[in-house]
Amino acid sequence: MGFTKRLIEDELERGYRLTGDFVCSQCFEDDAIRDFISAHLTEHECSFCDRSSEDEVIACPLDDIIEHMMTCVGDHYSDAEAESVPYDNEDQKYIVKTFDTWDLLRDALDTFPMSSKKLTNRLLHAIPDRAWCKRDPELLSREEGLHLGWREFCLAIKHETRYLFFRVREGDEPEYVEPADMLEEIGELIRRYRLVVDLPLGTRFLRARCTAGNLRFETPADVGPPPSKLASTNRMNAAGIAMFYGAEDEGTAITETRQPGDIRASIGTFETLVGLKLLNLVDLPGLPSLFSEKHRLRDEIRFLWNFRRDAVSPVDPKAADYEYSPTQVVAEYIRRGFRYAEGERLDGIVYPSSKGGARNYVFFADRRNVEGVADDILSASGTKKFRMVSVKHMDLPGTPSSA
């Protein structure tokens, strides 16, 4: 066998061309690759930025990095031809979504070292261009299975069934999450990613009541959660089931409650009388790099971010009440059916404002849980978890948008 032919066969087996270069961590933007470089330093000089040091090693072989990158990429993507993806000759494309190497590294992964053109070109030369596609394209990925299950859960809740779910599919898609299993799946993700935050005793938050007239709301009964019989449909509760909504700051409290025509607001400051545990939809885990040790968690973390987006996105005020029903069912599950560590119940949810403010709170509480207030329907007394500290009144500037 000739030397050139052997090199070509070795390249095909590896999946990339050797470069013989060395690179330092400053030439890459991806933190996981920087960590990899720091753990594999062998050289005193970088081939790309001309950094050098006589006293310490600062660079590692680029070929080692490319091998690591290709291993990680191979866990998620593959060659469309190797996956036997059918090709549409009429449209001149594969029947599944594909990427070239440039798109895969720059767009799909968002980790391409664009700041160094020399390194960028060397990587593109070392990694042969091909039609990349999702690995096992005929099967749902974990993210796709969760996303499809959540979408069908929402459709079912809105338009098919409100209280009972039945499994309707066979197990031909191992990653597909049945709508009937969606709540338990969300609960498992909450546990796995530790999406629970402790709210200490004495934490303060605000609740606003806005009005188009001259009313002033003074008491905890006026400013706090509504009576059960007057509780309207909201993001996390159905009509007739009161919950206690609040906000982290004054501006968010007003923005979340103000309606067109409102000109005055009464803003109550409340504080917690006990420590509480909340589902934390504010501080979700960051998406790990494709090249980190946690790269296999990317699918679930992407789903969590998309789930939060759906859960807190504004709903058209003219839309039917059932548009809120999926998040209402999830909140009811978190309140009644979910148990965190050692069987603990959660006391509410903290989530980012959909209107550009700070964080919002919804507490699984009603008037009975506020010091000095009773409920006219739910007569049994409840544990006092909140008290109103003060109330202020203010005129509201301008006229809010109806959007």
Residue 117 has what pLDDT? 87
Condensed to tens digits (0 to 9), the pLDDT of residues 206-246 reads 999 999 988 999 999 999 999 988 998 888 999 999 999 99
Cα gap 375→130, rounded to integer Å: 66
Residue 190 has what pLDDT? 97
Cα gap 338→340, rounded to integer Å: 7
Give the start-end residues of each E strand in 231-346: 244-247, 264-272, 276-280
Has this prediction a pTM greater than 0.85? Answer: yes
Contact between 280 and 195 under an 8 Å Cβ cutoff? The reply is yes
Condensed to tens digits (0 to 9), the pLDDT of residues 284-300 reads 999 999 999 999 999 99
Give the start-end residues of each E strand in 141-203: 196-199
Q: If pLDDT is split at 50, 70 and 90, which confidence band does 398 have?
A: confident
Condensed to tens digits (0 to 9), the pLDDT of residues 304-340 reads 999 999 888 876 667 777 888 999 999 999 999 999 9
What is the average pLDDT value for the chain, to the nearest integer?
88
Of 39-48, 164-173, 302-311, give the lowest mean pLDDT range.
164-173
- Report DSSP letters for 21-34, one per residue: -EEEGGG---HHHH
Condensed to tens digits (0 to 9), the pLDDT of residues 327-373 reads 999 999 999 999 998 888 999 999 998 877 789 999 999 999 999 88
Question: 176: closest CA among 154, 157, 152?
Answer: 152
Contact between 263 and 395 under an 8 Å Cβ cutoff? The reply is yes
Report the pLDDT averaged over residues 141-149.
Answer: 94
Condensed to tens digits (0 to 9), the pLDDT of residues 168-187 reads 665 567 889 998 899 999 99
Q: If pLDDT is split at 50, 70 and 90, which confidence band does 400 have?
A: low
What residue segments make up the domains of the chain, in order of their start? 3-76+110-129, 197-290+318-395
Report the pLDDT averaged over residues 77-83.
Answer: 91
Q: What tokens were used for 264? A: 């005055």
For tokens 């080692």, what's the residue? 64
Q: If pLDDT is split at 50, 70 and 90, which confidence band does 379 have?
A: low
In this structure, the number of other CB atoms found within 10 A of the CB of residue 266 comes to: 19
Q: If pLDDT is split at 50, 70 and 90, which confidence band does 3 have?
A: very low
Cα gap 273→221, rounded to integer Å: 17
pLDDT > 70? residue 1: no
